[in-house]
Amino acid sequence: MDPNFSSGCRIVVLISGRGSNMQAIVNTVREQGLPATVSAVLANRADAAGLEWAAGRGIPTGVVPHRDYGSREAFDAALADAIDAYQPHYVLLAGFMRVLTPAFVERYNGRLINIHPSLLPAFPGLHTHQQALAMGVQWHGCTVHFVTPVLDHGPIIAQGAAPVLAGDTPEDLAARLLGVEHRLYAEVVRWLAEGRVSIDAMQRVQVRGIASRAFVLTPQGIASPGNSL
């Protein structure tokens, strides 16, 4: 991929709730002066709390209520129209709780990105923290990946991990990983905005100039081997 960022990298973020990952992305873009703009935040629910947060920071927002459409295909077509009004280079799913149709995914092939709360390919689907605890894994995490028509599948851009502790509940794991998610997604947005990300012939992601795309929660903070804290 070699997107034309002559006027900066434009991003549309899709949410369904409070959009904490969206907030982390916006804050990183603005505070660190990344060559990117969050052009809009769109939701499928009018009561998504992240919409108010984004609007309060001058970001255009919009709602495409999925219940107003008789099929997934009709909803996805309306959502695509709303997205395309902003001509984004990338569309980021940040807690967007809808399964998208293959036609929608293909429309944004190579430009549609998601964060999933597990170390894919482990634990696709819902209730990932419960799945991790049930399997007795010692590390759990999150994955930022390009979206394909196969649910929770696609070329992996980066992953973050945190230890599973004795006595953990699903809520404990979710809380421990939230900061990792925020750091991970924001770093991926940096790489995208700087034009570092590509997909090779084997459908593997390459990130130019980045030594490691793994982030680990440690007692000292979130670290990436080969990259600074």
pLDDT per residue as tens digits for the range 25-82? 999 999 999 999 999 999 999 999 999 999 999 999 999 999 999 999 999 999 999 9
Residue 145 a catalytic site member: no
Contact in structure between 90 and 11 (CB atoms under 8 Å): yes
Give 227's DSSP letter.
B
Integer angstrom CA distances of residue 122 from 7, 116, 183 = 38, 10, 21
Question: Closest Cα partner for 93 from 162, 183, 24, 12?
Answer: 12
Average pLDDT of 157-179? Answer: 97
- Going along the chain from its start, the domains and CATH numbers come out as 9-223 (3.40.50.170)
Strand partners, 227: 224
Identify whether 121 is preceded by a cis peptide bond (ω within 30 of 0): yes
- pTM here is 0.95
pLDDT per residue as tens digits for the range 115-129? 999 999 999 999 999
Question: Closest Cα partner for 179 from 55, 13, 23?
Answer: 23
Average pLDDT of 97-120? Answer: 97
Q: Where would I find the H helices in the chain?
A: 20-31, 49-55, 72-84, 102-107, 128-135, 170-193
The pLDDT of residue 227: 60
Neighbours of 157 (CB within 10 A): 24
Which of 66, 89, 116, 140 is catalytic? The answer is: 116
Average pLDDT of 158-186? Answer: 97
The pLDDT of residue 113: 98
pLDDT per residue as tens digits for the range 199-224? 999 999 999 999 999 999 998 899 88
Contact in structure between 16 and 114 (CB atoms under 8 Å): no
* Pairing label, strands 139-146, 36-43: unpaired
Mean per-residue pLDDT of the chain: 95
The pLDDT of residue 141: 98
